[in-house]
Amino acid sequence: MNNKIPFLKPYTSAHDLVRLLQSRGLIVSDTAKAESYLEYIGYYRLSAYMYPLLQMPKEQHHYKPNTTFEQVMMLYRFDKKLRLLIFNEIEKIEVAIRSVIVNIGCSMTGNPFLMTDGSNFIDMGRFQRTMDLIDAELHRSREDFIVHFRRIYSDAYPPAWILAEILPFGVITNIFSNIKVARIKKSISRKFGLQIAPFESWLTIVTLTRNSCCHHARVWNKQNTIRPMLPNRMTGSWISLHTDTLRIYFDLCIIKYFLNVISPNNDMKVKIDALLSAYPSIDINAMGFPCGWETEPLWNVPVVQ
């Protein structure tokens, strides 16, 4: 049975949207500034930061008493800074994982062209889709090292350590999961103190979180759709307090775990502490932070001198 209905809501100007928000109980002290934010950020994007400030039942669209437009913008700015923090940390993980997959994969197979040799992979359909993506990236690339390779060498594709520099992280993780020899995947996973399955699962979480940050999507209180796998054992310090594995706090824990492996002197906790201190009104429970999170072994790894 088809219960779908047509979309009949008309376009509403920023001026009228401010009046609508005021009629719903939102305090807007500077209407001109609010209209400007709605014009250059967009009502739909900002509505994700308005939603937590609504009274129950939220479907009635009445704001909690004394709720201000500045609170909406505070949540928006916090989320933006959180995304920047996360993206900066994930960059280090991405670089490390690319390098480890290339180094171990090429070393164990003795094949510099690991990524473009179908004999190294299980699913040929998946391999072909990967090759299509590789071809597209090579066609688009104007990197000096790609231009140099094409000019000097006759091979159809560059070696893995060159390709890894231009491929999106999602393609790199797909290459890993399609590797045929389990011994290679185990060696790569062990480099990060994990078994193959949870390592693959955590790569997916890192990739999705990275993509959310790249596309400026809300992350602070969003519930993820994929539940990460919990390892049976791991060599690094981890968490013990119960938390929702679908919330951003658990993503932060995964990021911190990887950083503790590849950069033991990392200052991720210092950055998180500073961000939370700058926005004391943020509800960290909505982010999945358990009470006492800062005492967890994961967040208190001794600094390597």
Give pLDDT tens digits for 230-250. 998 888 899 999 999 999 999
Q: Select from 289, 169, 178, 301 the least CA-distant residue to 236.
A: 301
Q: Select from 105, 59, 91, 121 the least CA-distant residue to 214.
A: 91
What pLDDT is stored for residue 199 in this prediction?
97
**Beta strands per DSSP E along 184-289:** none
Q: Is residue 303 predicted with pLDDT exceeding 80?
A: no
In 3-state terms, what secondary structure has residue 90?
helix
For 252-265, write each residue's pLDDT tens digit: 999 999 999 999 99
Dihedral of CA atoms 296, 300, 301, 303 in degrees, nearest 10, equals 180
> What is the reported pTM?
0.93
Range 168-184 burial, b when 16+ CB lie within 10 A, else e:
ebebbbbbbbbbeeeeb
- Rounded to the nearest integer, the mean pLDDT of the chain is 95
What pLDDT is stored for residue 302 in this prediction?
63
Angstrom distances, CA of residue 64 to CA of 43, 51, 67: 19, 11, 6
Q: How far apart are CA 49 and CA 218, in angstroms?
A: 9
What pLDDT is stored for residue 3 in this prediction?
85
| Helical axes 31-40 vs 43-50, angle rounded to 10° | 110
